[in-house]
Amino acid sequence: MTGETQPALRVLAVDDVPAALDDLCGMLRDAPEVTEVAAAGDAVAALKRLQSEEFDAVFLDISMPGLDGLEFASLLTKLAKPPVIVFVTAYDEHAVAAFGIGAVDYLLKPVRPERLADALARVSRMVSAPSAQQTPQQPTPDALAALPVESGGRTRYVSRQDVRFVEAHGDYVRLHTRSGVHLVRMPISRLEEYWAGAGFVRTHRGFLVALAAVRELRSDSVGGLLAHTDLGDVPVSRRHARNLRERLLRAAQRGELRPDTAL
């Protein structure tokens, strides 16, 4: 928007590989919204900088000796005024944990200029937002309301509310949505931990289902139980059947299911 002032960002870059750190610092210095870039070769050095200086954002590698990036980021969230966290890594399997900590973005190396620009735009929006100190009881943002999906060199975000059910697929999960099936590298048990409070229930060793997506419970040809959704049937094991029925009943009592849902 015209007339809108972009925040002048002070950024700390952390990576134990000197060449990677130099490349990242160079890209950050070229960004128009960044006014200062500091560098640290490991988490300990970064902590020392943060004790004496204030930064708007930390661009952080994950795989580092000693204190790794995820552990370091967890410490940052406990600061009185924590910086915005962006992870920069060669590995995509830590995305769920990174967003669970509260990172605003997750960049895969080699970092493309357009992805860095997108991350800095997210940082700027966070820095420009009303101060959290004005609302001390403000809840932590739900960082896993959307999951990043890397495909063909591009990153798209799949909204949790668009997911009807989740299917385990080896080291990956398949997110079944009306726009298609999206493959994300993470264990289904970890995703269950993060999404349990958002209405997702384990129905089977290899499946999660969104309670709001269940239209009815029906029997299959051999007497097993299925949770029917508009994108297909989800198997329900005997072990999980009772919990699913109880959760559906509570959701119906709270008015969280469609009126035509058959329990």
Helix ranges (DSSP H) in the chain: 18-30, 43-52, 69-76, 95-101, 113-128, 188-195, 238-253
User: Does a cis peptide bond (omega within 30 degrees of 0) precede residue 110?
Assistant: yes
Q: Which residues of 45-64 are buried (b: 16+ CB within 10 A; e: fewer)?
A: ebeebbeeeebbbbbbbbeb
Listed range (87-96, 169-178, 253-262) with the worst mean pLDDT: 253-262
* Residue 218 confidence (pLDDT): 93
| Domains in the chain, CATH or no CATH each | 9-130 (3.40.50.2300), 163-253 (2.40.50.1020)
Whose tokens are 């708007």? That residue is 56
DSSP per residue, 123-148: HHHHHHSPPGGGSTTPPPP-GGGEEE
The whole-model pTM stands at 0.54
Exposed (0-12), middle (13-18) or buried (19+): which is 192, by Cβ within 10 Å? middle
* Residue 84 confidence (pLDDT): 95
* Residue 74 confidence (pLDDT): 85
Backbone angles phi, psi at 148, to 5 degrees: -80, 135
Residue 129 has pLDDT above 80, yes or no: no
Distance separating the N- and C-terminal Cα atoms of the chain? 49
Band (pLDDT 50/70/90 cuts) for residue 142 is low
Average per-residue pLDDT for the chain: 86
Q: What is the tens place of the pLDDT at every residue in 75-86?
A: 888 888 899 999
Mean pLDDT within 93-118: 88
